[in-house]
A and B are shown apart, each in its own frame.
Chain A
């Protein structure tokens, strides 16, 4: 047992390692990336040879994690909130199959969209799949929930979701660790058809899942992560979920709060406790990071008594991350006079690094697109290169979900758009771009796909790319004409050549792929420092 200074993400990793995890699976995504990175740095993980390689995407990661669970060993899969959309198929069905070895699904949401395209709330997925959700309010709970979550998962034969949000994921604090457990031995599920979701069996399994729900509600009432703190002033009761509890308590510096408070850390909601606070208090204020999920459940559609306060009635803003000041305002406490930020302070948005290969790609692309007339549109994707949508390049016009550049370009080409151009990164391409390219090949769509290959997962900090050294072979392998898979080097001195290649390939009446390939300046600098 020792005391460590850990990010919320890292506390989850350490908890799983200490609980005897044998395999960790993930695809990088802010704010979840550090969960895997910590396991990769961990000495215990190295000594035990815990699986800790990145997967091609969140779906393959979760399936591999489920496979390890099938084999009787404990595993964890981690992703950002939108990654769970990619893994949703296996997630929903793993709830029906159940698990064998403990299986934790760690999902980090990004309210306020610091580094994401939306702020969806993963607790809805947990509810949707009918699995238990653990939502830590601090780093110690993140550790404990992960450590105990493995037992919980095995006891109820279900995957367990651990839901984090950006602020806890990326905040550091002291964590006391527990005794490290042995890994599990390989053992198959006792029921050979447990994982066979043929309709006849799936119906039985679904019934079992529904029956478990009653049990899960009961244990939520006894969970140490759901706590009732009584208070004298019954005019208002507080239901505070996860990190929302901290922002609330920050408003009571001496730790004494006049209102009854129900702190929620485990779902489904504890029925008795919620009934108790509802019976005691005139009104209820629901504080939750993310969507108003609990609030909506308590309020109901008709909201007849108008007793439930939160994001839906405007007591708390409907969108965005919480903070202590938002909660102060919700409690009718002023935030006092503050110093003014001078008007001269300019915005400083993120931007391409000096020497980044994507910049050379966009210089060439902009010049090429001009040859085809004004107001040309380019479909793109998710990664560092998405910054090409901003000034000064303004080269790309879409960023929707991983892989969508290729398929959206195809759809636009189907509609008659010429030229139909997609820009995607190397890692995004192997994450979710390959199948889209196959669609285009099968219909000989007239699209040009630029795979801007910087040989890394850049935006999340330079993790190894699944695509490394494989891009040309993948494209040719799924049927792109080898004459129209062109590799160029994105450097200023080759600018004219790149423009020529792009121009030729855009004019080709079929699927063409241009691969500007040069390593990310950040990973390159790091490598040079090491040697």
Chain B
């Protein structure tokens, strides 16, 4: 783990990765495992409502998962984790002054950004794998009858969604070096994207925003019921890659703060 910047990055994050993992397991079990008893107690019987429709919630297994783990709490947590890691990748270490020492070694700026991006990708992949295992287990326990392939597709989309915002944070950090600004702007973009996906379609004047939201690329065709959204997944891969390229370009040309 001490042999490369990527390895060191993950090593430095081992505790936080463990805590996030425990969080994902706990949340998934709390939401998903008691699904049957929620249904039996009638807790999930909702009236027709624009809100429920907007967040895609209904009491079918797919609707319940879509409205909770995949549409709300999962994105919230995984985007928070990815944003934290993305902001720390450059801006955080720069504010701590540790980038100075690294970049005084024979390590190019591009290589540093790319290894840090790799560390971000690995961290999100790991948390995605934990979430996947928790969701697969919990849906078995609750006998929800959703095929593993669909769950896999949904978790993949969710991880790529989080990675997109992590890459936004990485790129903003590479350009500005200011962690507070990075976290604030990334969080604002994530909220705006969620709103654009969830509520913009109900307002004619804002409907054009929906296809621009990464949430749409991920959940527009509900991966738990619909066909795989090839365009959406492509965008969710292409945008983080493009952001990494921008991060390298921005980081190459500026001063490193003390």
A binds B: no
